[in-house]
Structure 1
Amino acid sequence: MACNKKNMVSNNGSLTAQTIKNVTYGNDPLQKMDVYLPAGRNTLHTKALILIHGGGAWTSGDKADFDTAIQTLQNSLPNFALCNINYRLATIQGANVWPAQLSDINSAFQFIQQQQAKYIINAGKSAVFGARAGAQLALLLGYTHPNKIKAVVDLFDLTDLAALYYNAPNPTYPALISIFMSGTPATNIPGHISSNPLYLVITANLPSTIIFHGTADDVIPISQSDSLNNRLIQYNITHQYNQYAGAGHGWTGVNLIDTYNKSIQFLQQIMSD
């Protein structure tokens, strides 16, 4: 773990910014996070923004995927500490299958809570930002900790794995889902329920949520976000739903800039003191 042992103070008495790479929150080599602490932070107004990378069915991706966005987020959200998380990746051989990823994300969040005094932040006012499989994990984390996580940013999410299993856009999906979930929606009901953020939307006491999805996504159909949007409307939960016409599973250029701009504006609004 590369880090500074103490918080550094500038000439005017305020804390300086710190970057702490590969902080260990568990015993597995992938259970690490990068922590970016802002200058002038304090335990009242400095919130935590947790970044969760994506990857096909929890099998790929790395926290480095967010590296190009870190400076933009730091500049636009100077009152946030950024916690960029890795988690164990599943394999088609059956290693690290569900719920390993959910367990890791919960452990990472618990670690951040435990370290908030050391980091000099207020982790009781957190937000979470996820893409692809990371969006599913972000929703699950936010919707199971609504008293501490106030906002979720969700990029082309997976909200109902059972629906994806029975209406798969790719014929390989059912077999892969069965491996990663240790069974089908019929044979491992508890496991599939635990993986579906949609099933947690049964109360109005949930974090505000902003959703992004491409209308031509052929990996995770936009119907997954449609279902979440409808459920959030039903329970009158503050949210925004953004669709990009003709966009597939992820995007670049103008759409990506728009995604970050809207996400930052949303977090500024929802997480204001």
Structure 2
Amino acid sequence: MTFFKYSSVILFFLALASCKKDTSTANTVAAVNQTNIAYGTDPLQKMDIFLPADRTALTTKVIVTIHGGSWTSGDKKDLTGYIDSLKRRLPAYAIFNINYRLSAYPNNVFPAQENDVKAALDFIYSKSAEYLISDKYALVGVSAGAHLAMLQGFKYTSPVKPKVVASFSGPADLFEMYNHPAGGNSIISLALAQAVGNTPTQDSLLYATSSPVNFITSTSPPTILFYGGADPLVSVSQATEVQTKLVSAGVTNQYVFYPGAAHIGFWDNATMFDAFNKLQAFIETNVL
């Protein structure tokens, strides 16, 4: 009788432990993938959202990616490869891949794109409790998207001050880009004026307030820059001007220069692999 008595007690506690284990599993936060979530009323004001499993509002860090296309074209789907790589390399991060209104003179010219990035971040931050994400952000932009990432990161501290800004071939000084286009190509100047809506002579203030380099201070976020020496669209001087100001301001930065590389989007696999190794390391070091 004693044996059966103790066996019953043991079985009871084993069953209780099993129930507790099942309850814990049921409460695990699942991963979430959502596409075309609106953050505004325009059809282009949408984003794709990738939330990792087991996330918490205290620990889950955020990456916001911004596509390129000369501010006049492109789509968030262009960064599918970037998203896949970031998810493999930084699986605990929440990733938000955003679209923005495209400039089509005379509609949606500057600063519509800047305003959209700000609105997208406002939306993401307002959903922090719902999405279970922290206030530790990294902004990663490509070409025109890199310009917008730098502009947001250097110019604004709300709704959140990013921990890292990453620029792949991004313009930073629009005066310089207009007056001294890469390779002396005047078509670049014309395209820039179309996207902005005016030339620097017509609206010097808009060019100044749309140039990320003008907003670098000692409190700017750590910044990593990736540029190609054979880029026919964005001169290397755009990168060196940013780095010079970051260094002068005492801001943590890394300038990655690929001498034979063209504009981002035309880099070979080896260059991209190296760039993402460096991007991952920079994010892991500085998004704390």
Task: Map 1:181-220; keep pairs closer than 5 Å.
Answer: 181-201=196-216, 203-220=217-234
Larger Rg: 2
Cα deviation digits, residues 222-262 of structure 1 (max 9, x gap): 11001001111111100100000111112121001111111
Q: Aligned residue for 2:146?
A: 135
TM-score (norm 1): 0.91
Aligned equivalents of 2:243, 2:26: Cα separation in 1: 47
Cα deviation digits, residues 126-173 of structure 1 (max 9, x gap): 110001000000001111234621101110110101111111231223
Q: Aligned residue for 1:266?
A: 282
Q: Aligned residue for 2:78?
A: 65
Q: Which amino acid aligns with 2:268?
A: T
**1:189 positional shift:** 1.6
Preserved CA contact (<8 Å) 1:216 1:245? yes
Q: Secondary structure at the match of 2:102?
A: coil
TM-score (norm 2): 0.87
- Find the partner of 2:64 among 38, 50, 57: 50
Aligned equivalents of 1:182, 1:70: Cα separation in 2: 32
Aligned equivalents of 1:160, 1:84: Cα separation in 2: 25
- Are 2:94 and 1:78 equivalent residues in the alignment? no
**1:72 positional shift:** 2.0
Q: Which amino acid aligns with 1:46?
A: T
- Find the partner of 2:116 among 94, 104, 122: 104
Total equivalences in the alignment: 260
Preserved CA contact (<8 Å) 2:76 2:98? yes
Q: Greater share of helix residues, 1 or 2?
A: 2
- Find the partner of 1:117 among 104, 109, 129: 129
Give the RMSD, CA atoms, in angstroms. 1.5
**1:12 positional shift:** 5.6
> Could you list the runs of 5+ residues in structure 1 that have no partner in the other structure?
1-8
Q: Secondary structure at the match of 1:141?
A: helix
Q: Secondary structure at the match of 1:178?
A: helix
Task: Map 1:221-232; keep pairs closer than 5 Å.
Answer: 221-232=235-246
Aligned equivalents of 1:153, 1:175: Cα separation in 2: 27
